[in-house]
Amino acid sequence: MAFTMFGRTIRKIGVVGSGNIGPDIALHFSQNLYAYSVPVVVVDILQAALDSGSKKAESKMAKAAEKGIYKKEAADAIFKNMLFTTDYGKIADADFVIEAAFERMDVKHKIFDQCQASCPKTAIFASNSSHMEPEVIFEKIKDKNRCLVIHYFYPAERNILVEVVPGKDTNPALAEYLMKLYEFIGKAPIKVKSRYGYAVDPVFEGLFLATALTVEKGLANIKQADAIAKKTLGMGVGPFTAQNLAGGNPITQHGLSEMNTKIMPWYRSPKILDDQVKLNKPWETAARGEVVEYSPQVYEAVSNRILGAYFGMICEIVGSGITNISNMELALDVGLVMTPPFALMNKIGLKKALELVEAYAKENPGFKVADILIKQASTGQPWKIPVVLREDKGTVALIKIRRPKVLNALNEEVFNQLREIIVGIQKDPKIKGAVLTGFGTRAFVSGADIGMLAAQKTPQEAETFCLKSMAVLNLIENLGKPVVCAMNGLAFGGGNEMAMSCAARIAIKGQKVFVSQPEPRLGIIPGNGGTQRLPRLIGMEKAWPILRNANPISSAQAKELGLIQEEVEGDLIETAIHWVQKIRSGEIRVPPIKKDPIPIPSKLPDVDIGHLSRKIDSLLQRAVLEGAKMTLEEGLKLEARIFGECLLTQDMKIGIENFLKNGAKVNANFIHN
């Protein structure tokens, strides 16, 4: 077998280097491609490194089986799909080779010389470098258009961030292929132009430098500075602790020294890092559970400097043009697990953010105050942080909701950006239709942000809230250009309601848990058209149980019910684009949603609502049955009004509080009032 998708076939993957990260890269590939019988081969010249890497991978899969992440048979199969060997001949037929060896140019050149001599001429060559430009790494490769950097982050099998860094000679189609591939196998890839350190490591290493400088200046000790940095930026661990975990002192020392001339003079290896590298010891950070004490004055002194450095570095990176605001916000959030920078600047105010950066630059020679920050602060407006992205594919606009941490959940900003994009498409004569999708493969849209729902205080507020978001879905429905929803994963609540506003819906095949209207579990009814559009699309009898029992259906069931038009095994987006083109040409005709009243059967199926609120169920039934007697426009207004009535019940409060406290798996104890 082989993995064939997005116009390429991969039969075997090679990973060169069995050190800190190579086995984890290999493990992630095996986890995602073992079902396609794509073997993953790890090559190293040291048998001890191979033995250690193999043992690590085996241990991780054993723990995954113990925790129920994988069934034991699958965990065993994933590990057995990996081969650890000293024989470079075992990757001579690999279609994709990733080098994960030492961060040394001579080592990388030697590895790729061997790969160039033995691997197929069509093989992709990638380096998991953390700093070096692709032009430097691949300078001796004859066919440079198949070469680029894929920068993983620790731990590589779990951290979803990867930087895709093409060189000046990389085939743009290859970079696009790898962006699609990595998204398909569960990563969050961001594309970054070639520059030393790329987009993320100058922040990771720069934050270490900024924190270390506060220690050198006597503002705090190591434990205090580490703890304050962690708190200031909402980090999982502080900068010193992160160096200990990744064993990164020597790499950071070298990286900071190079950034001095390649990015800005402020970057340099601080004396305490040089000394620590000589000692070859970890930093003395706080032990687990240890409380680090510091005064408010110490906190403010250290925190202000860290924020000034953070905002300044981020704006320099975006200002350089190597990536954009949306990518940096995503990368820092999911990759380095810290408070995203542009949202944080918006929160404290751009005037204050600029003051912090200017104060830091005044104290630290060589630190740059980026023009983009000065310009944005002068407008008095916050940064715009795109979470809904538009990319035109010829005459078809691809719209993607990208919020992976919350499975693309809807919030006010998503609706605002979606409205702006749809209006832009409406006015663009070059665009003949659109594809609406979500990021990744787990969810199209997992529903509405619960915090957004919980924020509604009165029935009138809730009704207005529904009508405002409904207006965006109505805009999609009445665009005058076909919008096809490419349902790349589950569509719950508002996700299914958004999909139903599109002209047609297609989905990845074989999704066992696919569509649901789970609102009754929260003590509410659908508020974005679910009670009105679902009966009109699939009929009242079929919609009745789906709306009332809140249970999910599979993609196969959705196809059988007529909710989706096709289950797709191949490239979902390309298939969706073809659907747009065929609808536009008349080759495919998808009946529009009924906008007039629809018939109500004399008898509807009995539905067991189990523990769900009978009070909320009565409101839901009213919305469905009374709405069916109205036009779609009138029915949507009715649904919004009845959604508002949910706020008058005790069960809505119980449902929302239960979800926020216990999550979706714990049933609320409704009192039916």
How many other C-beta atoms lie within 10 A of the C-beta of residue 629? 13
CA distance 636 to 640: 6
Q: What are phi and psi of 162, to 5 degrees?
A: -140, 140
Three-state SS sequence of 543-571? HHHHHHHCCCECHHHHHHHCCCCEEECCC
Strands 188-191 and 161-166: parallel
Dig out the tokens for 480 from the structure.
């005058």
What strand order describes the sheet that includes 188-191?
A: 82-85, 40-43, 13-16, 96-99, 124-127, 147-152, 161-166, 188-191
CA distance 412 to 228: 32
Residue appearing with tokens 């139903």: 500
Quick one: the chain helix, strand, coil %, rounded to 5? 50, 10, 35
Strand ranges (DSSP E) for 182-240? Answer: 188-191
| Cβ contact 153:161 at 8 Å | yes
Cβ-proximal residues to 173 (8 Å cutoff; 6+ apart), any chain: none
| Cβ contact 115:16 at 8 Å | yes
User: Is 633 labeled as catalytic in the residue annotation?
Assistant: no
Dig out the tokens for 124 from the structure.
């992709």
* Per-residue buried b or exposed e for 510-529, using 16+ beta carbons within 10 Å of the residue's own CB: ebeebbbbbbbbbbbbbbbb
CA distance 485 to 184: 17
CA distance 369 to 348: 18
Catalytic residue among 519, 560, 567, 587: 519
How many other C-beta atoms lie within 10 A of the C-beta of residue 301? 17
CA distance 202 to 318: 12
CA distance 86 to 49: 10
Residue appearing with tokens 């079902």: 35
CA distance 212 to 399: 42
Catalytic residue among 58, 157, 316, 497: 497
Strands 96-99 and 82-85: unpaired
| Cβ contact 450:656 at 8 Å | yes
3 state DSSP class of 515: strand
Question: DSSP character for 553?
Answer: B
Q: What are phi and psi of 284, to 5 degrees?
A: -85, 85
CA 535 to chain centre: 33
CA distance 454 to 660: 9
- Residue 501 bridge partners (DSSP): none
User: Is 519 labeled as catalytic in the residue annotation?
Assistant: yes
In angstroms, what CA-CA distances link 646 with 157, 183, 205, 238, 462? 43, 38, 50, 44, 9
CA distance 354 to 295: 25
How many other C-beta atoms lie within 10 A of the C-beta of residue 628? 18
Question: DSSP character for 445?
Answer: E
Residues forming the active site: 497, 519
